[in-house]
């Protein structure tokens, strides 16, 4: 009997325990339970809005950090109301960037996000891509040097293919992108009309990559700035890229430095420049181009009427002679180069200060600086485009200035690189008065 009594007591206690209703899980615990059932890369399992209902801003980020079991970054919470947040080199990792992504899904103030060098891997890239499909404010994103690999590239490519974000500037430099990555990115960019600035430098694109990117340029109608420096396009890759560049009507700035493009690549670019009407800045620094390649490139420059800046590092005397010849027909062209081969140990050629020469001319003819500028201002609006100013300065005969002096003059008159020489502030000056001389002297002091 005693044993039956104890058995009844145990059963009553067991029934009492099971009859009690369990306490509801807190918000993070419930989300964590869901997260363990699905993929780690799903942003709060399909619907972060429902998972964090009523939670916004810094509070939302802190809840996401609890869920991801990562330490919150105070700089992020302190700047959530500002347009730019820089979290580069913070060691976020995939889970840390996932918390960031959760907090930004419904954010309407951040327009620029810097996440360079955080080892976010493909997993982090997938989270970022999912966030961008919902976010309506982010326009500039830097996720360079994050080991994204092919899987990360595919996530970004899917976003671009669908035109599913508001991004216009995207930096993907140094992410170990190879041929598979460039294949999906190039395909996505063919029909993308959002991204205008793209940095794919310091990756591993080879000749096949050049062909795929060339096909992309032939179709893309939005991309204006493309950085492909420090890849492996080489001669054939650049030749294919040049073919695509011929029919492109959007790209304005192209960086192909450090790609071993050689003479064949230079020739392809020269041929492209003959028909391209939009490119204004081309960087081909450090590309093993000799006299032969320089000649072929210059033939394209003779015909091209749009390119304003050609950047190279080491050139030779023949290139300088060709450049001087080209500039007779294209005086607005600005070629940036470093050392001239064979001149390194020689005394560099001296170019008299152009401001001094102009001042001397004004004094001799009792003129104002205003008068000088107005004479070359065809529109008369006191604002001369830099390209028109270069051409006018080379074609005028009153003050003999060479290409180098005119380039120096432009840099002084357009210090902020606006592309405009504005001389409206000189209107009230009197002929040959001291303020003009003082202005010239002030310019000279800044040069010293």
For residue 198, what is the enclosing H or E element? Answer: strand 197-199
Q: Which of 302, 336, 370 is the last residue of a domain?
A: 336
On whether both 361 and 416 belong to a single domain, the answer is: yes
The string of pLDDT tens digits covering residues 81-112 is 999 999 999 999 999 999 999 999 999 999 99
On whether both 378 and 267 belong to a single domain, the answer is: no
pLDDT band at 135 (very low <50, low <70, confident <90, very high): very high
Compute the half-sphere exposure of residue 59: CA atoms within 13 Å on the CB side of its CA.
6
In a domain, 238, yes or no: yes
In a domain, 270, yes or no: yes
264-291 mean pLDDT: 93
Question: 141: closest CA among 151, 132, 133, 150?
Answer: 132
Question: 169: closest CA among 97, 215, 227, 125?
Answer: 227
In a domain, 4, yes or no: no
In a domain, 111, yes or no: yes
Give pLDDT, residue 419: 78
pLDDT band at 113 (very low <50, low <70, confident <90, very high): very high
Percent of the chain with pLDDT over 70: 76
What stretches of 4-155 adopt beta strand conformation (E)?
Answer: 84-86, 112-114, 140-142
On whether both 392 and 288 belong to a single domain, the answer is: no
Domain count, the chain: 2
On whether both 103 and 186 belong to a single domain, the answer is: yes
pTM over 0.85: no
* C-beta separation of 217 from 190 below 8 A: no
On whether both 401 and 305 belong to a single domain, the answer is: no
Which one has a higher pLDDT value, 132 or 387?
132
On whether both 374 and 322 belong to a single domain, the answer is: no
User: Of 19-33, 108-122, 148-162, 188-202, which gets the smallest average pLDDT?
Assistant: 19-33
In a domain, 257, yes or no: yes
Give pLDDT, residue 238: 96
313-317 mean pLDDT: 61
Tokens 């304003």, located at residue:
308
CATH number at 382 reads 1.10.238.10
On whether both 182 and 146 belong to a single domain, the answer is: yes
Give pLDDT, residue 370: 79
Give pLDDT, residue 406: 81
The two structure tokens encoding residue 412: 């002084």
- Cα–Cα distance between 286 and 265 in angstroms, integer? 13
In a domain, 33, yes or no: no
Q: Which of 307, 336, 365 is the last residue of a domain?
A: 336
The string of pLDDT tens digits covering residues 377-406 is 877 788 888 778 887 887 787 888 877 788
Q: Answer whether residue 345 shows pLDDT above 80.
A: no
Tokens 């059963």, located at residue:
11
In a domain, 50, yes or no: no
Range of the domain at 208: 83-336
On whether both 321 and 358 belong to a single domain, the answer is: no
The string of pLDDT tens digits covering residues 153-199 is 999 999 999 999 999 999 999 999 999 999 999 999 999 999 999 99
Question: 284: closest CA among 331, 214, 336?
Answer: 336
Give pLDDT, residue 350: 60
277-281 mean pLDDT: 94
Q: Which of 336, 365, 384 is the last residue of a domain?
A: 336
Give pLDDT, residue 203: 97
Task: Tell me the CA end-to-end span of the chain in Å, nearest whole number.
Answer: 110
On whether both 406 and 287 belong to a single domain, the answer is: no
Q: Answer whether residue 69 shows pLDDT above 50.
A: yes
User: Of 311-320, 407-416, 424-433, which gets the smallest average pLDDT?
Assistant: 424-433
On whether both 374 and 266 belong to a single domain, the answer is: no
pLDDT band at 349 (very low <50, low <70, confident <90, very high): low
The two structure tokens encoding residue 339: 């050392």
On whether both 328 and 359 belong to a single domain, the answer is: no
Helix 403-413 / helix 386-395 crossing angle, nearest 10 deg: 140
In a domain, 273, yes or no: yes
On whether both 296 and 367 belong to a single domain, the answer is: no
111-122 mean pLDDT: 98
Question: 246: closest CA among 222, 225, 215?
Answer: 215
Say how far residue 406 (Cα) sits from the centre of its chain. Answer: 29
The string of pLDDT tens digits covering residues 70-81 is 999 999 999 999
CATH number at 197 reads 3.80.10.10
Q: Answer whether residue 41 shows pLDDT above 90.
A: no
């Amino acid at each position: 009997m005693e044993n039956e009594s104890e058995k009844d007591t145990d059963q009553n206690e067991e029934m009492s325990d099971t009859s009690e209703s369990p306490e509801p899980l807190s918000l993070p615990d419930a989300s964590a339970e869901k997260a363990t059932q699905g993929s780690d890369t799903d942003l709060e399992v399909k619907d972060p809005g429902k998972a964090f209902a009523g939670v916004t801003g810094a509070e939302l980020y802190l809840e996401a950090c609890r869920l991801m079991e990562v330490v919150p970054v105070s700089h992020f919470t302190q700047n959530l109301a500002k347009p730019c947040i820089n979290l580069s080199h913070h060691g976020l990792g995939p889970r840390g960037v996932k918390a960031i992504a959760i907090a930004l899904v419904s954010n309407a103030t951040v327009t620029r996000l810097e996440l360079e060098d955080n080892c976010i891997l493909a997993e982090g890239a997938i989270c970022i891509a999912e966030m961008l499909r919902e976010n309506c404010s982010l326009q500039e994103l830097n996720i360079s040097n994050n080991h994204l690999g092919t899987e990360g590239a595919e996530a970004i490519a899917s976003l671009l293919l669908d035109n599913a974000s508001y991004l216009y500037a995207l930096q993907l430099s140094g992410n170990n992108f190879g041929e598979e990555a460039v294949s999906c990115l190039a395909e996505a960019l063919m029909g993308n009309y959002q991204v205008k600035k793209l940095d794919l430098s310091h990756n591993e694109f080879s000749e096949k990559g050049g062909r795929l990117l060339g096909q992309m340029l032939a179709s893309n109608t939005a991309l204006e700035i493309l950085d492909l420096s420090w890849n492996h396009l080489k001669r054939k890759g650049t030749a294919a890229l040049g073919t695509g560049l011929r029919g492109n009507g959007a790209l304005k700035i192209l960086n192909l430095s450090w790609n071993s493009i050689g003479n064949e690549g230079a020739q392809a670019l020269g041929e492209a420049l003959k028909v391209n009407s939009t490119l204004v800045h081309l960087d081909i620094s450090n590309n093993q181009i000799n006299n032969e390649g320089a000649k072929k490139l210059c033939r394209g420059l003779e015909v091209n009427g749009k390119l304003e800046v050609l950047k190279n590092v080491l050139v030779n005397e023949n290139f300088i002679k060709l450049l001087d010849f080209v500039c007779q027909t294209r005086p607005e062209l600005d070629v940036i180069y470093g050392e001239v081969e064979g001149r390194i140990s020689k005394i560099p050629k001296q170019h008299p200060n152009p401001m001094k020469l102009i001042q001397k001319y004004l004094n001799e003819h009792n003129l104002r600086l205003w008068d000088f500028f107005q004479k070359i201002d065809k529109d008369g609006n006191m604002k001369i485009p830099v390209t028109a100013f270069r051409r006018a300065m080379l074609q005028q005969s009153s003050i003999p200035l060479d290409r180098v002096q005119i380039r120096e003059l432009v840099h002084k008159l357009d210090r902020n690189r606006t592309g405009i020489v504005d001389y409206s502030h000189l209107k009230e000056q009197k002929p040959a008065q001291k303020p003009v001389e003082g202005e010239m002297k002030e310019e000279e002091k800044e040069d010293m």
